[in-house]
């Protein structure tokens, strides 16, 4: 948030307890960012990490294997970027977050601190800025649109989504149905 403030963006943020957030938002974020969130030990997706290490060894550019727990640790305690120091600190902090907080608490913190647009932090600010409503009133489609912009929140908009963002949102909605049995911790 401090970085966006220095960059000249305002800060829109309002903390909302997990119970006050539409359930579709947690499901959409899990479907978009981390399908196995509820099943992970220590906040890591070890299979995805292994695939990315193999890709790196084979000379390919790793795509990333960040989990919601890893992103929460990074967004809460570290700085953006891909430098090795930040990645090492993130790897050290992630299991601590996973051991100290329940999955529901990790989701609550993540949903309240993730950036959904320039200077727009958390689902409450995002729901108000993009849809003119509270986060508790967000529909499944709107939740999918918000989740769809997370990889590039400074470039993509849930309020006026491009064709690409609309397509991503449709995939996320479909995935939300597919992974329903894996969403026990988000209830």
Per-residue pLDDT of 22-35, as tens digits, reads 999 999 999 999 99
Residues of the chain below pLDDT 70: 62-65
According to the model, what pLDDT value does residue 133 have?
98
pLDDT of residue 52: 73
CATH code, domain carrying 146: 1.10.3810.10
* Residue length of the chain: 187
CA 77 to chain centre: 15
Amino acid 32: pLDDT: 95
Query: What are the start-end ranges of the H helices in the chain?
Result: 2-6, 23-33, 46-57, 68-77, 84-100, 103-113, 122-131, 140-148, 163-178
pLDDT of amino acid 174: 97
Domain count, the chain: 1
Alpha-carbon span 74 to 91, nearest angstrom: 9
- pTM (whole model) above 0.75: yes
Q: What integer pLDDT is reported at residue 155 of this predicted model?
A: 95
**Is 40 exposed, middle or buried (CB count within 10 Å of its CB: 0-12, 13-18, 19+)?**
buried
Domain that holds residue 70: 2-186
Contact between 118 and 147 under an 8 Å Cβ cutoff? The reply is: no
pLDDT for position 87:
85
Measure the CA–CA gap between 48 and 4, rounded to whole angstroms.
Answer: 30
């Amino acid at each position: 948030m401090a970085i966006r403030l220095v960059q000249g963006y305002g800060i829109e943020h309002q903390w909302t307890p997990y119970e006050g957030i539409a359930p579709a938002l947690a499901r959409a974020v899990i479907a978009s960012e981390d399908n196995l969130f509820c099943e992970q030990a220590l906040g890591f997706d070890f299979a995805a990490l292994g695939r990315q290490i193999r890709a790196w060894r084979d000379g390919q550019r790793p795509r990333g294997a960040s989990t919601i727990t890893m992103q929460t640790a990074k967004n809460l305690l570290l700085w953006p970027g891909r430098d090795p120091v930040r990645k090492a600190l993130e790897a050290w902090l992630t299991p601590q977050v996973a051991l100290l907080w329940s999955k529901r608490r990790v989701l609550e913190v993540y949903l309240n601190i993730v950036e959904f647009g320039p200077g727009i932090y958390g689902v409450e600010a995002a729901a108000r800025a993009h849809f003119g409503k509270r986060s508790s009133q967000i529909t499944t489609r709107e939740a999918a649109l918000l989740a769809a912009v997370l990889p590039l929140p400074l470039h993509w908009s849930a309020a006026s989504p491009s064709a690409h963002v609309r397509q991503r949102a449709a995939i996320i909605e479909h995935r939300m149905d597919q992974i329903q049995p894996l969403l026990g911790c988000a209830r």
